[in-house]
Amino acid sequence: MTDSLLGLDEPPQPQGAKGAYRVLARKYRPQTFSELIGQDAMVTTLGNAIKRDRLAHAFLLTGVRGVGKTSTARLIAKALNCIGPDGQGGPTIDPCGACEPCRAIAEGRHIDVIEMDAASHTGIDDIREIIEASRYAAVSARYKIYIIDEVHMLSKAAFNGLLKTLEEPPAHVKFLFATTEVAKVPVTVLSRCQRFDLRRIPAELLAQHFSMVCEAEGAEVEPEALALIARAAEGSARDGLSILDQAIAHAGMEGGAVAAAAVRAMLGLSDRGAIRDLFGLLVEGDAPAALASLRGQYDLGVDPQAVLRTLLETVHGVTLTKLGTTPAAGQAVEEVQALERWAAALSFPALHRLWQLLLKGHDEVARAVLPIEAAEMALLRVIHASQLPDPGELARQIASGAFQAPAGGGAGGPAPAPAPAGPRDMAELAQLLQDKGRFQLAQQVHDYLRPIRFAPPEIEAGTVRPMPREFAQELASALKELTGRAWKIALSEAAGAPSVRETIEAQAAAERDAVLRSPMVAAAMEAFPDAELSGWTRTRSNVA
């Protein structure tokens, strides 16, 4: 094996006059499986395989960048070749780190652990060297191990040349492959390997890990700043440590702890509180204030595309909250309360429409010559579209005749259509909800609301029984979507007039009494005391 195929990382620089600084991503690379965060399932499988002596001859490690593929490959090499402090040990999931094989592998100088970067050694000639060298026994280790990083970049000829050796390797050889694009690895290679999919590391685990790194480095970092870095890392420990390195250096220039505001400024992130304010303005339809909020963040250096991305995250968060999912760990109380408030006020169709409009705006801003102007137009489109019925509802209005066509028009185009006439009483309100498929709301209005003041778009009502806390908001949201007007629903402890159901039942009882009092029926009932009035159908509305 030529020198060009040796370790990817240079060994640690000796401390002395040179004293080269090692970045955090290299300094805190895991040296044991216990330090490998977020991959518990894989560690358990490997541990059981080692204990039962059921080791595969080839492993394929796949996952996004920075989750520990190459580090895991080196840990496996140490686990298989560890001989223990006394030199008598065997393969173990907890390599000692003190014996010569462990130290040599950790420093990238073990002659029997060969690393190759497939990105720069893609041809059949490079693989031929591996095939020839694999025939010879290990020099000093238990196993000769080949670690091939970014294996998907090998040429077709190189893959084909490797197949026979990969399928029937000598007993002293192990292959460890790492790749970020497993779909590009031929199926013939995949079928000959034991595959491990390394998962993205959860943000809360990354934040905990970064906190321990900061403590070891003697750096003071605000918890919110660590959370921001963890989210920006997108599941990659290496990316997160690189960002943390930059944040610590930034704070070192100014002195003091690493603040969340400094991390936001460094990453170009928008303040989540400002985004919540902006989202609230979009929901309320306040265009001037929304544009002013966007411009304020832009003047602070926030990328317009980042604003739209965070708004998309907010819509997603509201939707999950409406579904009843548990809030994410570390989520601010203010954010949880805001999401719950919007989840109660917005319907699923409205949230889906918000998502589509913001997603379209995000893509437009990414391609725009004038990003901030494109972002402003995207927000205006969201605000104006929120005042219109969705296409499905518009089609239902047209089919039912509730939609009124514009009267007149001229050279400038047709005049806007007037809003459809609203319900005139509680019965019509219940019927409207029933016709539009809001069956639960229709039944609640029909059975339980006792009108006190009915003056659309404002309704004040008492209730037959206690109603759910979010009922008034859900009813107002549904009516806004169905009628295009903002409604105000107030529930009172006052008695109010009878509900629609109570009115219908009272009318039915009065009609039954009138029938029983008629001379013919009264005479029949007197002649036949055990007789009952049968075949009577109580009159009621169509609302179930």
Say whether pLDDT at 9 is over 60: no
**Same-domain check for residues 181 and 215:** no
Chain-centroid distance, C-alpha 482: 30
* pLDDT higher than threshold 60 for residue 13: no
Give one DSSP letter per residue of 158-227, joined into a string.
HHHHHHHHHHS--TTEEEEEEES-GGGS-HHHHTTSEEEEPPPPPHHHHHHHHHHHHHHHT--B-HHHHH
**Same domain for 446 and 357:** no
Domain assignment present for residue 74? The answer is: yes
- For the chain, what is the mean pLDDT? 81
The whole-number pLDDT of residue 401 equals: 58
Query: 389-440: per-residue pLDDT in tens?
Result: 656 565 666 655 555 544 444 333 443 444 445 788 888 888 888 888 888 8
Report the alpha-carbon distance of residue 255 to residue 250 in Å, rounded: 9
When comparing pLDDT for 433 and 535, which is higher?
433
Q: Once rounded to an integer, what is the mean pLDDT over residues 266-290? A: 82
Q: How confident is the model at residue 15 (pLDDT cuts 50, 70, 90)?
A: very low
Q: Return the pLDDT at 34.
A: 84
Whole-angstrom Cα distance, residue 5 to residue 129? 10
Task: Please identify, among 267, 292, 316, the residue that sits at the C-terminal boundary of a domain.
Answer: 267
Q: What is the pLDDT of residue 254?
A: 54
Clarify whether residues 214 and 177 are in a common domain. Answer: no
pLDDT of residue 533: 63
pLDDT tens by residue, 199-253: 888 888 888 898 899 888 888 888 888 888 888 887 888 888 988 888 888 776 5
What's the CATH number where 303 sits?
A: 1.20.272.10
Give yes or no: residues 236 and 172 share one domain.
no
Indicate the range of 185-194, 210-219, 252-261, 512-521 predicted with least confidence: 252-261
Q: Using the 3D structure, point to which of 365, 385, 405 is the last residue of a domain.
A: 385
Residue 164 has pLDDT above 80, yes or no: yes
Strand order from edge to edge, sheet including 144-149: 113-117, 144-149, 173-179, 58-62, 194-197
150 Cβ neighbours under 8 A, 6+ residues apart? 117, 118, 119, 178, 179, 180
Are 457 and 488 a contacting pair, CB within 8 Å? yes
Q: Read off the pTM.
A: 0.56
Alpha-carbon gap, residue 451 to 462, rounded angstroms: 6
The pLDDT of residue 26 is 85
| Model pLDDT for residues 32-80, shown as the tens digit of each residue | 888 888 888 888 888 888 888 888 889 999 988 888 888 888 889 998 9
Distance between CA atoms of residues 297 and 170, nearest Å? 62
Give residue 456's domain range: 426-491
Does residue 370 lie within any of the structural domains?
yes
251-271 mean pLDDT = 71
pLDDT band with cut points at 50, 70 and 90 for residue 494: confident
Q: Check whether residue 344 and residue 367 sit in a common domain.
A: yes
Tell whether 161 and 221 lie within a shared domain: no
Q: 259 with 323, same domain? A: no
- In 3-state terms, what secondary structure has residue 117? strand
Residue 387 has pLDDT above 80, yes or no: no
